[in-house]
Structure 1
Amino acid sequence: MGSDKNRGPAPAPDALDHAALALELLQKQPVLRDKISSGTHVQGREVPRLLTEVLRFLHLVAAGDQVLTPSRPVDLAWHEFILCTRIYGAFCCRHFGRMIHHQPGGMEDENNSQFDQTLALYQRYFGPPPAAYWLPGADCGACRSANS
């Protein structure tokens, strides 16, 4: 299988209903709800809201050609989504035209700068990010998207 880059552009980040997609994913893969809940300590109605934020982050990555860094809560939920490899891979290819890869680590200054870029893009496409999931830059995840 060749590179999964350049399979065509992803739709604009505001073109999809990420909340509806999150609910659909949780219905198709009920274990994902449990994994996100246990991995992030988010409960009940907050699970689909947090998954919505993960999908928005992934869409920002897919729509641009840059490395972005999520908040810690979004990163932790992303980890749980990735563990459902088949549904994660199929979701990325279907909605973004390529797999969105996860890259752990990175230098703190670089992660903070990428997190600031993430927040600016989020604001541009979705409005103010919910504070419950998008914490100040010091609390950004130690992981980032891979530019691939």
Structure 2
Amino acid sequence: MSQTTRPQADVIDPKTLIPPDLYGRLVARIVGEHDLPPEQAERIMSQALAFLAACAFNPSLSLAPSRAVDIGWHTFLLYTREYAAFCEQVAGRFLHHVPDDERELGHDSADAVQRLGVTVEAMRASDLPVEADLWLADGKCSQCYAGCASDPRKA
């Protein structure tokens, strides 16, 4: 799918999807737990929020985070009340994190690379920013089924 460049004014700022104090706490946790500079932690958290918004906006797509973006998602999941409220506000439903055990055990596949491409395209199509260097195909987590809403294998 070809994507046109959108004016910056149309792009959603993912940081505005959660309260500023929560964003600051999430970034600080990433800095502390992953020994990253604050600027990198901010980029990771912002992309995690953009990814989750893309999952919310595109429930029929099978989207997956990169390894870097998954750090932000895992961090947000620790704040269960805030995460649940975010999901309800942005998606109208809970966005489940369902690990793909094949990938967790190191069995990489071309499918995972393709899913990252689909995810980036969905983010761009949803007017969400994409920091390409955070979407390298080295992610160990490609767990989103039905747009991160539920795992059809358990339905």
> Which band: TM-score by shorter chain?
0.7 to 0.9
> 1:143, CA displacement in angstroms?
3.3
Q: Which amino acid aligns with 1:34?
A: A
> 1:125, CA displacement in angstroms?
3.4
* Residue in 2 that maps onto 1:46: 40
Over 3 Å counting, the alpha-carbon distance change for 1:80 and 1:28 in structure 2 is closer
Q: Which amino acid aligns with 1:44?
A: P
Q: Which amino acid aligns with 1:33?
A: V
Equivalent position to 2:74, from 79, 82, 95:
79
> 1:128, CA displacement in angstroms?
7.1
Q: Which amino acid aligns with 1:76?
A: I
> 1:91, CA displacement in angstroms?
0.8
1: distance between equivalents of 2:37 and 2:45?
12
Q: Which amino acid aligns with 2:54?
A: L
* Residue in 2 that maps onto 1:142: 141
| Structure 2, gaps ≥5 residues long | 1-9, 104-108, 151-155
Over 3 Å counting, the alpha-carbon distance change for 1:127 and 1:80 in structure 2 is closer
Q: Does 1:21 align with 2:17?
A: yes
2: distance between equivalents of 1:91 and 1:123?
21
Over 3 Å counting, the alpha-carbon distance change for 1:68 and 1:29 in structure 2 is closer
Alignment size in residue pairs: 131
Superposition CA RMSD, Å: 2.6
Structure 1 consecutive aligned stretches of length 4 or more whose deviation exceeds 6 Å: none
| Structure 1, gaps ≥5 residues long | 1-13
* Residue in 2 that maps onto 1:9: none
Pairing of 1:96-135 with structure 2 (within 5 A):
96-105=91-100, 106=102, 108-126=109-127, 129-135=130-136
- How high is the sequence identity, in percent, across the aligned residues? 29
1: distance between equivalents of 2:56 and 2:143?
13
Over 3 Å counting, the alpha-carbon distance change for 1:34 and 1:20 in structure 2 is same
* Residue in 2 that maps onto 1:68: 63
| Aligned residues of 2:63 and 2:142 also touching (Cα < 8 A) | no
| Aligned residues of 2:30 and 2:36 also touching (Cα < 8 A) | yes
> 1:21, CA displacement in angstroms?
3.0
TM-score for both structures, normalised by structure 1: 0.72
